[in-house]
Amino acid sequence: MSANDEQVKDQHQQDDRDSCSDEDDVAMTDVEKEEPPASLIVTPGKAPRLLNLDPRHIIEFKDKYQFYVDALADAGKRPRAIKTMIDASLLDVLSENYIKKAKMELTNEDFLSFFDKQLKADTSTLSDMPGIIKKELKMNLDLRPKARVADLLVQLTNLSKRHNWSEAFAGTEGAKNKIRFLIGALQPPSLRTHMLGRVRFAKTTLQDDVDGFLHELSDCIEGFERDLLREQTWRPFMRPSTFPNLAQPWVLMLRNVKLQALV
């Protein structure tokens, strides 16, 4: 290959790199290009859509909307108005029957304020909270011991947001609720029993002190790893479902064979 051919090839490769760089930085100014590399820039996502006023959908919409706004802010762009993200028929209903303002006059603040009122007024799952938490709040035993504590908090926070339980975890009584539900999710059972005893009898100040409870739990959780391993080892042999049903045909046939062999 001649020297001229090599120069042309190098020029083409440089042009390709420049083209890719221009595509990555399309939403950035000259000043921003000097800071993070293009590979670290988060591309702004699409605007979310709201189709109904189910509290769960409102919560999801608000979370996605905030992510959308933050992503656009990082790219130096302005977000669309919330009213452009709402289903046309739903927007008519909100304008005429709920917010009671002309559609042209509706602002983002009108919608966000209305959403907050709707969520605050929804207590439909509050009576089922203990059952829901017992079913869904599970300690992730695949994580390291102290990481399991943080994961439980994340799970409980997500459940609270999804079901609008913020009031149930506010103040002194809310702290007691949070600690009670966290204790209920602890594994192994020996750790749950230990922390329950600490809270109820040995150190009663922990009953409404979430930070103190978490500190106490993080300090002792690693000491119960042997109990957890022992339980995981023996659990398959302790479940009644692992034993054969004596009424099953193959069990009866096997028993008859044994009896005939004894005769």
Confidence band, pLDDT 50/70/90 cuts, at residue 228 = confident
Summarize pLDDT for 156-205 with one digit per residue, the tens. Answer: 999 998 888 988 999 999 999 999 999 999 999 999 999 999 999 999 99
Confidence band, pLDDT 50/70/90 cuts, at residue 250 = very low
pLDDT at 4: 54
Q: Please give, one letter per residue, the 3-state secondary structure of the chain.
A: CCHHHHHHHHHHHHHHHHHHHHHHCCCCCCCHHHCCCHHHCCCCCCCCCECCCCHHHHHHHHHHHHHHHHHHHHCCCCCCCHHHHECHHHHHHHHHHHCCCCHHHCCHHHHHHHHHHHHHHCCCCCCCHHHHHHHHCCCCCCCCHHHHHHHHHHHHHHHHHHHCCHHHHCHHHHHHHHHHHHHHCCCCHHHHHHHHHHHHHHCHHHHHCHHHHHHHHHHHHHHHHHHHHHHHHHHHHHCHHHCCCCCCHHHHHHHHHHHHHHC
pLDDT at 188: 94
The strand pairing partners of 86, in sequence order, are 50
Query: Tokens representing 99?
Result: 């917010």
Lowest mean pLDDT among 62-71, 142-151, 247-256: 247-256
CB atoms inside a 10 Å sphere around CB 175: 18
pLDDT at 242: 46
Are 206 and 215 spatial neighbours (Cβ–Cβ below 8 Å)?
A: no
For the cut 90, the answer to whether the pLDDT of residue 254 exceeds it is no
Average pLDDT (206-235) is 90
Query: Tokens representing 183?
Result: 């204790």
Summarize pLDDT for 89-138 with one digit per residue, the tens. Answer: 999 999 999 999 999 999 999 999 999 999 988 888 888 999 999 999 99
